[in-house]
Amino acid sequence: FPHGTREKLHLGYEEVSGWNPRVVYADITGFGDAGPDARQPGFDLTAYWSRSGLLASTRDAGAPPTVPVWGSGDYTTAIAVYAAITTALYHRERTGRGADVGTSLLATGVWATGTLVAGALAGGTPFALHDRNVPVNALTNPYRSSDGRWFMLATSSAHWPALARAIGRPELGSDPRFADLQGFAENAAALTELLGAAFGERPFAHWQSVLTRERVTIGLIQTPEEAAQDPQLRVNDVVVPLEGVSGLDHTISSPVTLRGVPKVPARRAPELGEHTDEILDELGFVPAEIAGLQARGAVPGAPAAEAA
């Protein structure tokens, strides 16, 4: 909901903090607290991705903008508001006062596009949209192996002799075309063609082995289904067991980790009203009062299965 809605519901910060000055009040808006669009509703597709410059920049040359991964801007913005909340809690520990904190989808979208937007602020000219056949840097580019697996090569000119050895062309390590950064830039198309042909001769497992041995960085471009089964995610508690959901035994954990402090186990989201009685009981309401609130529709009741 845009600005104004919570105030109409008597849930704006000024009113809530009047009840409790220690409250930490956090919100997320589409476009910020001020300006002509402050009251406009925003979605991650419109505010985070489209308005920020990010969507226009994350496509290949000649390709139209596409629809990004659903909710990805929301997830990033949630981490930003988490940072705001934890900062406010620290502030409260020091001062005894709460705070009104937040961010916007637009702000986090611009932050994610920060390298390009900051460059524009400085009057710089950004690189053209990526063209994998004629990239700015052939050493940072996707390639395909003989078994059809795409992977991202992400190395530097310092590792060029090692990469040349790995593809079976050690003589290229001293090729004058690739003697310095200018040479790599001027001959990027030729190098892309050369690397593409070499990588297309062997399966990905081969390249993963030889390039890892040479300490040349690559990354397999996995589908979401492949990522879900990646053992690296489980051993690092990125994917964790999930309690209480029939037919679903794992979920994605928060990326925030305090080493040595275990996370609360992941559980299913509660049903609407599932904990109403428990919460109101903690607040001092007696069963008859809780039943009266539910009968009047002031609070949701427990789901039918729970009530039964």
Per-position DSSP letters for 227-249, written without gaps between them:
HHT-HHHHHTTSEEEEES-TT--
Q: Is residue 297 part of a domain?
A: yes
For residues 149 and 197, state if they share a domain. yes
In terms of domains, do 103 and 18 share one?
A: yes
Residue 31 belongs to a domain with what CATH number? 3.40.50.10540
Q: Are residues 170 and 251 in the same domain?
A: no
Using alpha carbons only, give the angle 207, 209, 210 rounded to the nearest 5 degrees.
Answer: 70
State whether 9 and 116 are in the same domain: yes
Lowest mean pLDDT among 116-120, 155-159, 243-247, 283-287: 243-247
The interaxial angle of helices 72-95 and 105-112, nearest 10 deg, is 110
pLDDT number for residue 244: 83
Q: pLDDT digits over 200-221, tens only?
A: 999 999 999 999 999 999 999 9
Cα separation, 51 vs 42, whole angstroms: 10
What digits encode the pLDDT tens for the residues 25-71? 999 999 999 999 998 888 999 999 999 999 999 999 999 999 999 99
Residue 239 in domain: yes
Which band of pLDDT confidence, cut at 50, 70 and 90, is reported for residue 308? Answer: very low
Residue 126, domain member (yes or no): no
Q: Cα separation of 7 and 9, whole Å?
A: 5
The whole-number pLDDT of residue 306 equals 44
Residues 69 and 116 in one domain: yes
188 Cβ contact partners less than 8 Å away, ≥ 6 residues apart: 134, 135, 136, 137, 138
Written as one string, the DSSP assignment of 121-167 is HTT--PPPPB-TTS-S-TTEEEEE-TTS-EEEEE--GGGHHHHHHHT
Residue 132 clears pLDDT 90, i.e. is over it: yes
For the residues 102-128, what does the mean pLDDT come to? 93
247 pLDDT band (50/70/90 cuts)?
Answer: confident
Per DSSP, the residues of 155-171 read --GGGHHHHHHHTT-GG
Residue 260 has pLDDT above 60, yes or no: yes
**pLDDT value for 307:** 42
Give the C-alpha separation, 219 to 189, whole Å.
Answer: 21
Report yes or no on 129 lying in a domain: no
Q: Please give the Cα distance from 167 to 202 (Å, whole number).
A: 10
DSSP state of 58: S
How many folded domains does the chain comprise?
4
Query: Which helix (DSSP H) or strand (DSSP E) does residue 11 occupy?
Result: none
DSSP letter, residue 61 = T
- Which single residue is written with the structure tokens 């929301």? 74
| Residues 81 and 146 grouped into a single domain | no
For residues 217 and 287, membership in a common domain is answered with no
pTM equals: 0.85
Distance CA 111, CA 155 (A): 25
Cα distances (Å, whole numbers) of residue 209 to 205, 218, 219, 252 = 6, 10, 12, 29
User: Length of the chain in residues, anyone?
Assistant: 308
Residue whose pair of structure tokens reads 């039918």 in the numeric block: 304
Which pLDDT value is given to residue 3?
76
* Domain contains 191: yes
Instruction: Give the model's pLDDT for residue 304.
Output: 62
**The pLDDT value given to residue 290:** 94
Q: How far is CA 61 from the centre of its chain?
A: 24
Using pLDDT thresholds of 50, 70 and 90, give the confidence band for residue 170. Answer: very high
β pairing state of 99-104 and 24-29: parallel
Give the CATH number of the domain where residue 180 resides.
Answer: 3.30.1540.10
pLDDT at residue 128 greater than cutoff 60: yes
Is 200 strand, coil or helix?
A: coil
Same domain, 247 and 284: no
Specify if 133 maps to a domain: no
Q: Give the range of the structural domain holding residue 78, as residue numbers without chain letter.
A: 5-121
**Mean pLDDT of all residues belonging to the chain:** 93
Same domain, 15 and 117: yes
208 and 241 fall within a common domain: no
What is the token pair recorded at 102?
């937040």
CB 167 within 8 A of CB 198: yes
Domain assignment present for residue 271? The answer is: no
Would you say residue 161 lies in a domain? yes
pLDDT on residue 4: 82
Give the pLDDT confidence score for residue 221 in this predicted structure: 97
Based on the domain organization, do 102 and 198 belong to the same domain?
Answer: no
Shared domain for 19 and 93, answered yes or no, is: yes
- For residue 218, the model assigns a pLDDT of 97
